[in-house]
Amino acid sequence: MLRSQHRVYDGSGEVARTQDVWGAEGISGRVKFLLLAWAGMPKTSFRKNSDSPHYGDEQVNGVAISKNIYNPDWEGFYVNAQYGELSITNPEPIATDTGLVNPVPDEFLITRLAASVSGLAWETQFIRHSNVEQVYDQPVMTEDVLTADEIEELRDNLQVIHAHFKKLYQGDKNFAMDIEFKITETADGSRGSLAIKQARPCGWIKNEYQPGLV
């Protein structure tokens, strides 16, 4: 079942608390495991190795670019997230009472705010929201695909992954990573946890941005 309308925000999203960039000791165990595995892999492929745990069905799946694609000179991340295992890049239509409808994901930026009481702060700016109301024949668990805490955790991990591979590749200001993530399924139906599925260098950011054409 799908929501009949999208909720469109004008950029005045909620401000998350300020976080310093984590070092390797600060990232979650799953991401640290993957970074250690990736360190020994060819630079053309960064996937879970055969020893990685299998998480089963996903409560959420998502794709993130470790760059503010609307203004790459300003720190931020571009994220698409969808309920369950519904495809983000090539979704199949879902049957509803009114016919077939294409599901759309949450689409948002996690970006810095230049001015705040405590200095630099983070803001989530929603471009559009998912129109999915049910997944696995059950109502969705959250109003937004990711909770505020999950967005914050994702942001911290994206910072670490971006910094790690930018250094590895000696990337310039256009460098970005294309990162797939999920919220894992649980046996008891409770909320799962964030897991990074794979990451690879993103080649389409360079020269895409032109000032004044956002």
Task: Please check whether residue 16 is in contact with residue 122, taking contact to mean a CB–CB distance below 8 angstroms.
Answer: yes
For residue 131, is it within any domain?
Answer: yes
The DSSP code for 205 is -
> Where in the sequence is the domain holding 59, given as residue range(s)?
15-201
For residue 122, is it within any domain?
Answer: yes
For residue 208, is it within any domain?
Answer: no
For residue 5, is it within any domain?
Answer: no
pLDDT digit string (tens) for the chain, length 214 residues: 443 332 333 333 333 322 223 333 444 444 544 544 444 433 333 333 334 444 447 999 999 999 999 988 888 999 999 999 999 989 999 877 788 889 999 999 999 877 655 567 899 999 999 999 888 888 899 999 999 999 999 999 999 999 999 999 999 988 999 999 999 999 888 999 999 999 999 876 554 444 333 3
Domain count, the chain: 1
AA letter at 72: P
* Residue of 154, 44, 132 lying closest to 88 (CA atoms): 132
For 8-24, the pLDDT digits (tens) are 333 333 333 222 233 33
For residue 7, is it within any domain?
Answer: no
H or E stretch covering 163:
helix 148-169
Spatial distance between the Cα atoms of 60 and 68, rounded to a whole number of angstroms: 22
Per DSSP, the residues of 104-124 read --EEEEEEEES--TTSSEEEE
Provide the whole-model pTM.
0.71
For residue 207, is it within any domain?
Answer: no
Half-sphere exposure of 52 (CA within 13 A, CB side): 22
For residue 100, is it within any domain?
Answer: yes
Which residue shows structure tokens 């797939």?
Answer: 180
For 146-178, the pLDDT digits (tens) are 999 999 999 999 999 999 999 999 999 889 999
For residue 96, is it within any domain?
Answer: yes
